[in-house]
Structure 1
Amino acid sequence: MEILLMFLCGYIILLGYFSVKKVDRFIDKINTEDAESHFINTSRPIPLLVMGESDLSSKFRMHLEELNIPFDYIEDESSLNTSFPYPFYFALSLDDLSNLSLCIMVTKLIHSSNVVTSCNNPSYIPLYERNGITYYNREQIDEFFLISNYLVHSSNKH
């Protein structure tokens, strides 16, 4: 009787071992397929997002093209695709409310702090500062291009 119980215990242990091993392989297969479906092709750099119809926006887009830096362009914040996380968001509209709206959507919905915007009206500065948004006014355009170049190039190295 004791020998039968030992064989039964051994059988249950082996059955448990192989069952767990099968489940583990199944989970690994799901994780691998999931990772492959969300795999980002590193041979093609991830684009930046530029929003706004303004002179600054068009100059910045031309600047990015000259540097061969890929970007996606949207005219306003309603076109934002929240399912695709960009490494950087540039809100360069002439409308500060559109800029603020995009910046807040990015920080709250996408959980990214890599947002840079232009501040057209100084009365909106407290709103930008209260929300922790990096902003540049019209007099800081040269600084904006320098900082943007640094951010873009430092993100491409990682």
Structure 2
Amino acid sequence: MGKDGLTHLNERGEAHIVDIGNKAVTHRRALAQARLTGQPATIATIMAGGLKKGDALAVARVAGIMAAKKTSELIPLCHPIALTKVSVEITQDTNSAILISATAETTGQTGVEMEALVAASTAALTLYDMAKAIDRAMVISDIELVEKSGGKSGDYVKAP
């Protein structure tokens, strides 16, 4: 562990992948979310499946799942993880916002927070891509870990 307590830095402050060889194998789960905000008409069109590119919700779900599986290829110091479950839920939050929730699970020696975060953000980016022709001012925000369980550090639930 680095001098500052960050596990991805060694004593010299150099980046390295963390040794998880001695960590216990436990069931690990993480829930992350992202928000896509746009014009009410844009959100309604996305949720109704009315985009010219096709069913944006289905494509975004698949994109999120695929992204979770590729997290270690995208985030340099993440371990490749054998995921046991990934799900992406997309719901209308307000008339101008969509909430994307992604859950990742594994039984292993390291957590799945990054996989859940990558899934939620990729699903949001996919929705943006599919609807940008009608609303380029959409905003992706509030990408955050909502909860996680398993592992040495224990459970985490975001404060309301």
Normalising by the residue count of structure 1, what TM-score does the alignment of the two structures yield?
0.21
Point out which structure has higher relative CO (alpha carbons under 8 A, 6+ apart).
Answer: 2
Normalising by the residue count of structure 2, what TM-score does the alignment of the two structures yield?
0.21
Q: Which structure: greater helix fraction? A: 1
Q: Which structure: greater strand fraction? A: 2
Structure of higher CA gyration radius = 1
